[in-house]
């Protein structure tokens, strides 16, 4: 089909979505029925100019990830999504269940690494599991629930990340990448609306349109218990948990950072419970005077 068919379909569907359906305020002064182009672009994580070109038939090769994001922004059902992809001469992406938790076996694996902070996150940066040392590393936060919320909404974030701007940019770029995945786009869109309403800094970074996933980097932290430390991290896909990644931190051996990480582990180690001594035997009249091992 032609790109004009694609644009006409997008424009028609846009007119059927009310702002309240996607978490936007409804203004009485609206001149259009449904959503504005700017609102669809914001929800889909694309520029207004790019979305306008799609509706006008000037953009002829949208990617699957962009179409998935737009389909979610327009609340398209299964049939409508399929039609949208066919209009763009693309095959619809299969919908896979989003990971909301890590299996116990993976949690046990993380706990087997007492000297290495490790977390499992999903595409929208929810923390599905973490080991004890990661819990110690993030112990200043009120909740260890979602990396983006921790970075932008918890006051600790601004001090915990030594280079907050870099950490914030990484979060936003990861969320925009996640927005193109149909399995988590609804959750990402809700999170983006929440963060945009609560953080002007997030809104400014989101408007830049940067996209980037996690691979390997160094991060600098400022922890109240051990001071400044720099850790490298590696990200690995977790095949048994759809859309999840294992993030493992480490310090270069023999460095002050490694010593601080070891100190952090010892400071937050679970207190050992002293073994309870067995009750002494009471000797009563007529009882044997032999020691226990002789009885």
pLDDT exceeds cutoff 50 at 141: yes
Alpha-carbon distance of 177 to 213, in angstroms, equals: 7
Count Cα neighbours of 51 within 13 Å in the Cβ-side half-sphere.
26
Among 59-73, 98-112, 145-159, top mean pLDDT goes to 145-159
Q: 292 pLDDT exceeds 50?
A: no
Question: Binning pLDDT at 50, 70 and 90, where does residue 289 land?
Answer: very low
Is residue 121's pLDDT more than 50?
A: yes
pLDDT at 186 over 50: yes
- Specify the higher pLDDT residue, 186 or 274: 186
Look at residue 99 in the predicted model and tell me its pLDDT. 67
For strands 118-121 and 127-130, give the pairing.
Answer: antiparallel
pLDDT for the residue 288: 39
pLDDT of 177 > 80? The answer is yes
Mean pLDDT of all residues in 242-247: 91
Question: What are the structural domain ranges in the chain?
Answer: 3-87, 104-267
Q: Which residue would you say has higher pLDDT here, 226 or 83?
A: 226
On the question of a common fold for 3-87 and 104-267, the answer reads no
Q: Encode pLDDT of 64-90 as tens digits.
A: 888 989 998 998 887 788 888 888 888
Phi, psi of 251 (to 5 degrees): -110, 150
Q: Return all residues near 63 (Cβ < 8 A) that are at least 6 apart.
A: 180
Whether the pLDDT of residue 235 is over 80: the answer is: yes
Please tell me which residue, 279 or 112, carries the higher pLDDT value: 112
Kindly tell me if the per-residue pLDDT of 112 is higher than 80: yes
What confidence score (pLDDT) does residue 2 get? Answer: 47
Give residue 64's pLDDT.
86
Percentage of the chain modeled with pLDDT above 90: 53
**Better-predicted residue by pLDDT, 91 or 3:** 91
Mean residue pLDDT of the chain comes to 85
Q: Is 125:152 a contact under the CB 8 Å cutoff?
A: no
Q: Which CATH class is domain 104-267?
A: alpha beta
pLDDT band at 226 (very low <50, low <70, confident <90, very high): very high
CATH superfamily membership of 3-87: lambda repressor-like DNA-binding domains (1.10.260.40)
pTM value? 0.65
The pLDDT tens digits of the residues spanning 3-54 come to 578 898 899 899 989 888 888 876 656 666 789 999 999 999 999 999 999 9
């Amino acid at each position: 089909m032609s790109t004009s068919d694609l644009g006409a379909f997008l424009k028609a569907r846009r007119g059927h979505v009310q702002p309240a359906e996607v978490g936007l305020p409804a203004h009485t002064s609206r001149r259009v029925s449904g959503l504005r182009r700017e609102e669809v672009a914001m929800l889909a994580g694309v520029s207004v100019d790019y979305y306008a070109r799609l509706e006008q038939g000037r953009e002829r090769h949208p990617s699957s990830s962009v179409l998935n994001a737009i389909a979610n922004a327009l609340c398209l059902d299964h049939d409508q999504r399929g039609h949208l992809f066919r209009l763009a001469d693309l095959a619809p992406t299969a919908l896979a269940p989003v990971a909301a938790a890590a299996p116990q076996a993976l949690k046990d694996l993380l706990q087997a690494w007492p000297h290495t902070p490790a977390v499992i996150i999903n595409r929208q940066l929810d923390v599905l599991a973490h080991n004890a040392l990661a819990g110690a590393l993030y112990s200043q936060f009120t909740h260890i629930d979602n990396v983006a919320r921790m970075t932008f909404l918890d006051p600790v974030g601004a001090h915990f990340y030594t280079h907050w701007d870099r950490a914030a940019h990484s979060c936003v770029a990861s969320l925009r990448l996640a927005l193109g995945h149909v399995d988590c786009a609804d959750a990402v869109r809700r999170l983006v609306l929440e963060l945009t309403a609560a953080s002007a800094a997030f809104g400014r970074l989101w408007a830049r349109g940067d996209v980037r996933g996690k691979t390997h980097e160094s991060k600098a932290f400022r922890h109240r218990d051990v001071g400044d430390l720099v850790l490298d991290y590696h990200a690995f896909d977790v095949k048994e948990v759809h859309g999840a990644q294992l993030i493992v931190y480490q310090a270069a051996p023999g460095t002050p950072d490694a010593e601080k990480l070891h100190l952090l582990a010892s400071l937050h180690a679970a207190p050992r419970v002293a073994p309870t001594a067995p009750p002494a035997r009471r000797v009563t009249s007529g009882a044997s005077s032999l020691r226990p091992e002789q009885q």
